[in-house]
Amino acid sequence: MPSDALTGAALELIEPAIKAFRQAVAAAADRADSHLAASLAGSPMSQAAAELGEFAAGRIDVTRFAALSELTERPVPDDLEVSVLRRAAEILREQADLPPSRFVVNLPPGGRLANALGIQFDELGRAFGAILVAELVRNGRYDDAEHSAILHGLPRHEWHRGERAVSPPLVVTLDGADLWAGEIAQFLDGNQKIVLIVRPPAPPAALVRLITPSTLVMQTTNMETLATAVRYEGTAVAALMPDGGGVAEFVHLPDPRLPEHERLQITARPRGARKSLQSWSAWLQSQELEQLYALAAPPPVAAVGKENGGPPADPAARLAAWLLSSAESAAAGS
């Protein structure tokens, strides 16, 4: 499948996460527009009427509502603050309507993945910066000298927990030689989804370094298998690796109910001798593989006399079964 088609297919997979991000930003834009209208109206009663909207007409005494609410204590923004609030609302509308292509990072050969991801998240973080600025204006705490730069981008490490929960997903296309897991790790928290489309040649087990208790990690050569990874409600990084037998295929499930060695399943091991790959030496590639095999190896005693044959061999089937089980457990506990 051509690279553009693979990118398009990956974008379809992350569409639910893109939708969640857009909805959160659109809701914030509505709040900013409401406060802007109230700010332009000026008085506490006018602010109350603007924030309550048409629902209040004939039903709520706006004067009493304003007296009971924080609106009586909220300062009326000056001209600068109104201008800043208007710009924040504009940015939120722009970010809520971003095309799918803005959720794609095309890393050129030899590029630094951490730099590319950081720039993209800074740009997408303009939405969260605009939300923060709108709240600062709303609460009378906006300082132009201190806060104006936030509208130009908010680094991902400054996002709070709620923002990371709707973190914009990304599709990344890159050469296998540039796939360094350490450059991705700093962005993996919250509900982050990163899908990697890896061009050959590629190291056999580069993502093994990303395996942590709460992160779903997958390497596969099959797009359908990849689709199951992005359904996970949590941090997930999945790579569509080049086919040809030179890479390991595996899935790590962040399921504390499973023994550690059962959370990681290897479904394909690389064939052939390892060759150096630019900055990836054959020795370094072999170390990644040995680490992968060690993580998946059962304890010697636990391996004896095990019944029922263990989990299904197909990672997509295993992941789908686990997702279903997790959903049923959550429903039972609610």
Cβ distance 207 to 247 under 8 Å? no
Q: Which residue has the tokens 């064939």?
A: 271
Strand ranges across the sheet with 235-240 = 104-106, 170-175, 193-199, 235-240, 215-220, 249-252, 264-268
Residue 89 lies in a domain: no
pLDDT computed for residue 53 by the predictor: 54
Residue 314 lies in a domain: no
Confidence of residue 50 (pLDDT cuts 50, 70, 90): low
pLDDT of 224 > 80? The answer is yes
Span 242-269, mean pLDDT?
92
Residue 210 lies in a domain: yes
The pTM of this model reads 0.81
Three-state SS for 297?
coil
Number of domains in the chain: 1
Phi, psi of 97 (to 5 degrees): -110, 20
Residue 106 lies in a domain: no
Burial of 168 (0-12, 13-18, 19+ CB in 10 A): buried
- Give the model confidence (pLDDT) of 150-193 as tens digits: 999 899 999 999 999 999 999 999 999 999 999 999 999 999 99
Residue 282 lies in a domain: yes
In 3-state terms, the chain is what percent helix, strand and coil (to 5)?
Answer: 55, 10, 35
pLDDT computed for residue 319 by the predictor: 75
Q: At a CB cut-off of 8 Å and minimum separation 6, what does 192 contact?
A: 164, 167, 169, 235, 236, 237
Confidence of residue 302 (pLDDT cuts 50, 70, 90): very low
Residue 107 lies in a domain: no
Span 108-134, mean pLDDT?
96
Neighbour tally for 64: CB within 10 Å: 11
pLDDT of 272 > 80? The answer is no
pLDDT of 315 > 70? The answer is no
Residue 328 lies in a domain: no
Cβ distance 103 to 168 under 8 Å? yes
pLDDT computed for residue 316 by the predictor: 67
Residue 233 lies in a domain: yes
Range of the domain at 250: 200-299
pLDDT of 144 > 60? The answer is yes
pLDDT of 306 > 60? The answer is no
> Each residue of 134-156: b (16+ CB within 10 Å) or e?
bbbbbeeebeeeebeebbebbeb
Rounded Cα distance between 46 and 63, Å, is: 9
